[in-house]
Amino acid sequence: MQLTSAYGEVRNRVGQLRHEKGMTEEELGEVFGVTGSLIRNIECRRNEPRVEMWHALANYFDVHVWYLMGIIEE
């Protein structure tokens, strides 16, 4: 397991995974009952999501939460 800087890849991982599913920020927001602007802010690291949101996103994308946060490489 290779460690990277904490939160260093948040924008790339959330945005990348969203793009891989062919979704807009608004569509992903609808899945979780939040706005597209909140998703955008998470991707750009302007908002720090709650632990529950990290886990929900990780489950949705079927990745480890630490991978999604940029702490580890998968």
- Residue ranges per structural domain of the chain: 10-69
Give me the pLDDT at residue 1, please.
45
Domain 10-69 belongs in CATH node 1.10.260.40: yes
Residue range 31-71, pLDDT digits in tens: 999 999 999 999 888 888 899 999 999 999 999 998 998 88
- Mapping DSSP onto H, E and C, the string for the chain reads CCECCCCCCHHHHHHHHHHHCCCCHHHHHHHHCCCHHHHHHHHCCCCCCCHHHHHHHHHHHCCCHHHHHCCECC
